[in-house]
Amino acid sequence: MLDWNDLRFAHAVARSGSLTKAGRQLGVHQTTVGRRLAALEHALGCPLFTRSAGGLTPTSEGTRVLASIEPLASALLRFERRAPGTTTEVRGLVRVAVTEAGARQLVEGALPALMARHPELELELVPSNLVADLARGEADLAVRLVRPDGDVVARRLGQVTYGLYASDAYLADHPAPFADALAGHDIVVPVRELAHGPEAAWLARHATAARPRLRANSLVTLAQAVAAGLGVCALPINLAAMHAGARLVRRLPEIPGRPVWLVIHPELRKVARVRVVATALVDEMKRRLA
């Protein structure tokens, strides 16, 4: 017979892609997750995941089973969010989906004092430029650069503005004016998921005569490259401010400011552990964006 709790373990594995991450989300050791998953596969008579060095991927049969249990898993998640014991104590795991730059700002800013005040609080930062699905429990809080829709609560934190940056060493070696399609200048370029962002779009229009020297799909890496003197780049001002070697050449008002939103599932607003993290996040992000 099926143990319905094993389905919850399979859902966590599918969502996280690994036994270790699933165990962390469920508050158990990875060996427990593996044992429960093996028991479920034995009961069903088929493998649900393929194992590889990159993690666990659902098989075709696993995809079908997981699609069937998704409504049940979502219902269990909603029940856990409403459970009285989870709403009043600042303890347990809070998952925050945030950009790579935002994650660094939180770690360097609000989180040390927050964790010191609440020793039983555990945080999982998910630094990514992708959008987490709060309804499926991929995150409890999310910082987004697009206005959210759906059944979520959103609070505007401010907006990202942009500037053109280079290092002092680069400016000393490249006295050419920052005009005429940046002729005579080296640039570092956003690629992949950043290729359609405002930084890449500005460079595509205004740096047609520049020499691309480095490409990266991480704004933090691009800012580090600028600070190291590898070239010029359009960057968010709040991000560049974290890199002492990056110097503002000029602001770029032609790039429209991008609103920054804190998003939370409505059922989590009164959960104490989520509320204190949200408050710290709001204060830190507002200060940085200002």
The DSSP H or E segment spanning 160 is: strand 153-160
Q: CA-CA distance, 272 to 283, in Å (whole number)?
A: 17
The per-residue pLDDT for 237 is: 93
The answer to whether the beta carbons of residues 249 and 235 sit under 8 Å apart is no
Q: CA-CA distance, 260 to 161, in Å (whole number)?
A: 11
The DSSP H or E segment spanning 193 is: none
State in Å, rounded, how far the first CA of the chain is from the last one: 58
Architecture of the domain delimited by 86-159+259-289: 3-Layer(aba) Sandwich (3.40)
The per-residue pLDDT for 214 is: 95
The per-residue pLDDT for 85 is: 54
Q: CA-CA distance, 224 to 106, in Å (whole number)?
A: 18
Contacts of 158 (CB under 8 A, 6+ apart): 259, 260, 285, 286, 289, 290
| Domain(s) of CATH 1.10.10.10: residues in the chain | 4-82
Q: Chunked in runs of 10, what are the mean pLDDT values of the chain (290 residues)? A: 76 84 78 89 88 85 84 67 62 83 85 90 74 62 79 85 95 86 93 90 93 92 95 93 92 92 82 89 87
| Domain(s) of CATH 3.40.190.10: residues in the chain | 86-159+259-289, 162-256
pTM over 0.75: no
The answer to whether the beta carbons of residues 26 and 33 sit under 8 Å apart is yes
User: Nearest-CA neighbor of 30 among 47, 9, 50?
Assistant: 9
CATH topology of domain 162-256: D-Maltodextrin-Binding Protein; domain 2 (3.40.190)
The per-residue pLDDT for 124 is: 84
Where do we find the tokens 């028991």?
A: 39
CA distances from 167 to 109, 183, 229, 243, 247 (A): 24, 17, 5, 10, 5
Q: CA-CA distance, 105 to 99, in Å (whole number)?
A: 10
Query: What is the residue-wise DSSP string for 223-266?
Result: HHHHHTTS-BEEEEHHHHTT-TT-EEEEE-TTS--EEEEEEE-G
Instruction: Decide which of 3.30.930.10, 1.10.3720.10, 1.10.357.10, 1.10.10.10 is the CATH code for 4-82.
Output: 1.10.10.10
The per-residue pLDDT for 223 is: 95
The SS3 assignment for 109 reads coil
Q: Write out the two tokens for 228.
A: 């190291």
